[in-house]
Structures are given as structure tokens and as C-alpha cells.
Chains A and B, each alone.
Chain A
Amino acid sequence: MRRWFISTVAICLVQGCVSEPDIKCDKVLSLNLREVVPAAPESVESISYLPLETGDSCFFRNADKILFENNLIYIADYRSGQILIYEMDGSLYAVLDRKGRGRGEYLDMMSFTVDSDYIYVLDNFNRKIFRYGSRDCRFDSASDLDFVAWDMEVLDNGDFIFAFSPLDGGRLMSPQAPGRILFTDNDFSVKETLLDYGDNDYDIIGQRRYFSVEENRLIYSSIYFDGYIVFDRTDHNCMQVVGIDFDNPIPTSRRKDPSVLDMNYNYQTMTPIACGDYMVMEIAEGDNIVNYVYNCSTDSFSKNPDILCRNCLYYPIASYNGCLVSVIESKTVYDEFIAAGFDKGDSCVDKSLEEGNPVLLFYRMK
């Protein structure tokens, strides 16, 4: 009964956000992109760089997900099937690289999460979760999954939250619990679902990340609705549904038409990153993806100026200890930033980028 009530309330709230913005969500943010002031860099107190060491045993192509746990930095590159684990000083601590067909090996890494004991790797080809030691990367066990999922996070009580959306052109081989959000116990048995979908429902596009985390806050979004849900990791029944009222949203009647992606509608392309009072969003504006920063304390949005300048926000991917975290992937990008007025890092930053290693950029927020 409680589960039914929570599901129904959440669906009603979200349906309300999508189709009729005047129906009350927990909160609705009005975002008229043309009126947003280009003052995002003013929210940044300082920046710092962290060059990341790589080695012969690992090949870093893209940072798909970054988690800060156990006083370590876990960076997943899904395409190469690796999780690189760093000390907080950027030195390489360990590498989880177990792509293969043998015991304890995953065929594909769709997502991962980590807690104090284990790294959990989601493999949809094997329909399993692989569990490895959070520090030594030693294989512990593999558990069967009776669903496919796109992203996962661990909750404070040891349960898990998964995200799935039926996508345009996709058909599952076998049916599964029809929730966009699935809560499981620590054996990955589904306990509860939210935002249930029907047989003919689908989203026109997925997201590379459906969850972001900041301390006890766990944020979810998908193109299913303009907005996001903030869960409390210590009690997932405690949540806030926030709608975003764009001035040019995808019309409700066209939410299943993939051609709208190439039109000039506004929608989120990624789950927002929370950092203290700030919520950083990635919004599609034509062919571009633009960062918008919502300041909860002033209830206002800001964005970067049109021309790159000192402390512009560069697509943050994570949040840690009052800082937004971005990845500088090349020396070209770094040189542009320095030319635009960013503080210069020490010689290690140049050296690291010249060697093809990435650098983390920390924005300490005011």
C-alpha cells in the first residue's frame, strides 16, 4: 500500500510537471534561457587542478562517471571497460580492468558504483552485477539481474537504485519490472518501482548518466520530464520533485517524436550536478549544450558569457567537498582556458596534458 502510494504520488507529480506546469510540483523552476544573466563565473571562488597519472596498464579515453569514495577517486571509462582509481593527489592507486569472458570478468561495463567495501559493475550482456574489492579490485562475486538497467547507485542502507528507460527502437528480449526507477535490496531483487511505463511508452533518447551524487543527495533525471528528482540516500522515500519550466520545451504531444531532438527545443541532456546551493544543468540549445547554474539561495539562474573567460564552467561531471569537478581532456583546451584568464596550474599540469593524461579541474564555489 505504501509502495503504491509513493509510486502514484511521484507519477502524478511528474505528469503534472510535464503536461500542465500550473499543477503543483514540489517546486517548479522557471527557466527563460534568453533572460539568464551570464554571471556563472562569479559563483566560483577559486579553481585548482589535479593532474591524473596513467600508466602502461591503463588507457584513458573518456571519463564517463566519477565518484569520490573511501578517500579515493574512481573514474570509469565505459568504452575501454576500465575503472581507474586515484589517490587524492592524482597518483594512480589501482585499475579495475576485467573485461573478458572468464570467471569474474564482465563483457561490458554499462555503469558502476562503489561503497566502502565493493565496486559494483553493471553488465547488461551478462545480466549480472560483478562485485570487486573497493581498494584491491579483487573479484568477490557476481549476482544475476532480472532486469536491464542504464545506471545504478548504492543507498546508505546497502540497497540499490537503478535507472532504466525504454528507448526508441528498442525491444527487450524478456519483460521486466516496468519502472524507470527500480529500488532493489542488496541481492538485487526489485522491491519497489517508480515512474512506471506502459507497453507503448518509450523515451526518444537516453542519458549517459541518470544519477549524480553529492553527499546524501542523489539526483535523477531523464528526458521523460523536464526536471529532476532529489532523493535522500539515507531514506529514499524522502524525495523532492523539481520541474523546469522552459520557455521552449518539447511539446507534450511530441515527446515520442525523435525528430524533435534536431529542432530548437530545450531539454536536459544530462542529470544535474548538485554542489551546495548550486545545481548545474546541461541544456540543449540548438546543436549546442550549455551549462546553466541554478542558485537555490537566490532562486536564480546564471550561465557562462558567450566568450570563454576566467572561471567559466566547463561541463562539470561530479561534485566533491564544495567543488564542482570537470575534466580537461587535452592541452588545447587547457591552453584556451589560460589564454582566457584562468589561473595557471604548476608545470605538472602542462606535463601531464602533454603526455596525453587528463587533468581534473576543481571549481570551489562561493
Chain B
Amino acid sequence: MKRYFILAAGAALVAAAVSAFAYVNNKENNSASLLKANVEALMDNESSGYDYPDGYPYSFICKVSLGGGKKCRATVVMCQGSGTGCNERPCPMHS
């Protein structure tokens, strides 16, 4: 009887140890996955290199006053929605 009790306690101990190991390992895996996903997301943003990853580069000519009733041109890029990446270049006069 005593022998059975010792065997049962041993089996329970082994089962608990295995469960604890699996739990910790799984938690580490989840943390690692989460960390990996975050790093990848950061890398995606950095590698896209866009101010607006979903922007559309809308370019136009901005008029800059020169004095004497004259204006010169500066090319400006303003990001609009529904695109696949855009960096802005504001107007030196009106930004």
C-alpha cells in the first residue's frame, strides 16, 4: 500500500514538473513570438521609409513670393490617402 502511495506521489510529481516545464516553455515561446512580431513591425516601418505607409504622393507647384510682384516655383509633395507609401515635402512658404 505504502509502495503504491509512493509511486502515485512520484507520478503526480513528474506530471506536475512536466506541466510546469510545458507552461514556462510555452510562455517563453509566446513572449518570443510577440517580441518577434513587434520587431518585425518596427522593421517594416523602418524599411518602408515612408512618413505615410498608406499615403499617395500628391505633388504640385507652390508659389513662393520673390518680391516685386513676382513668384517662383517650389515643388511640394503632400501625402494623400489610399496609396502605398509617401514622404512629404512641405512648401517653404506655406508649411
Q: Which residues of A contact B (CB under 8 A)?
A: 61-62, 79, 107-108, 110, 123-127, 148, 150, 167-174, 205-208, 261, 269-270, 284, 287-289, 304, 307-308, 312, 314-315, 329-330, 332-333, 336-337, 340
Nearest-neighbour CB distance to chain B for A222, whole angstroms, equals 11
- Residues of chain B touching chain A, judged by Cβ–Cβ distance below 8 Å, are 54, 56-63, 65-73, 75, 80-86, 93-95
Given contacts A336-B67, A340-B69, is CB(A205)–CB(B75) below 8 Å?
yes
Given contacts A170-B56, A205-B60, A308-B68, A62 and B82 within 8 Å (CB-CB): no
Chain A at the B interface: mostly helix, strand, loop or mixed? loop
- Report chain A residues within 8 Å CB of B63: 269, 289, 315
- A205–B1 alpha-carbon span in the complex (Å): 91
Nearest Cβ on chain B to A141's Cβ, whole angstroms: 20
Q: Which residues of B contact A289 (CB under 8 A)?
A: 61, 63, 71-73
Q: Give me 17 other A-B pairs in contact (C-beta within 8 A), A127-B82, A205-B60, A284-B61 excluded.
A: A110-B58, A124-B82, A127-B81, A148-B80, A167-B56, A169-B59, A170-B86, A173-B84, A174-B82, A205-B61, A205-B75, A206-B59, A270-B61, A284-B73, A304-B69, A308-B68, A315-B63
User: Counting chain B CB atoms within 10 Å of each CB, which of A150, A173, A261, A270 scores highest?
Assistant: A173
Q: Is the contact region of chain B dominated by helix, strand, or loop, or is it mixed?
A: strand
Contacts of A107 on B, CB cut-off 8 Å? 81
Instruction: State whether A62 touches B94 (Cβ < 8 A).
Output: yes
With contacts A61-B94, A288-B72, A304-B69 taken as known, whether A124 is within 8 angstroms of B60 at the C-beta atoms is: no
Chain A residues near B93 (CB-CB < 8 A): 62
Q: Which residue of B lies closest to A167 (CB)?
A: B59
- In the complex, the answer to whether A168 meets B59 with C-beta atoms within 8 Å is yes
In contact, A169 and B57 (Cβ under 8 angstroms): yes
Q: How far apart are B81's CB and chain A's nearest CB, in angstroms?
A: 4
Complex Cα spacing A312 to B81, Å:
39
Complex contact B81–A148 (CB within 8 A) = yes
A-B contact pairs, 30 of them (CB 8 A): A62-B93, A62-B94, A79-B95, A108-B80, A124-B56, A127-B82, A148-B80, A167-B56, A167-B58, A168-B59, A170-B56, A170-B57, A170-B86, A172-B83, A172-B84, A173-B54, A173-B82, A206-B58, A207-B60, A207-B61, A208-B61, A261-B75, A270-B61, A284-B61, A287-B73, A288-B72, A289-B63, A308-B68, A308-B69, A329-B65
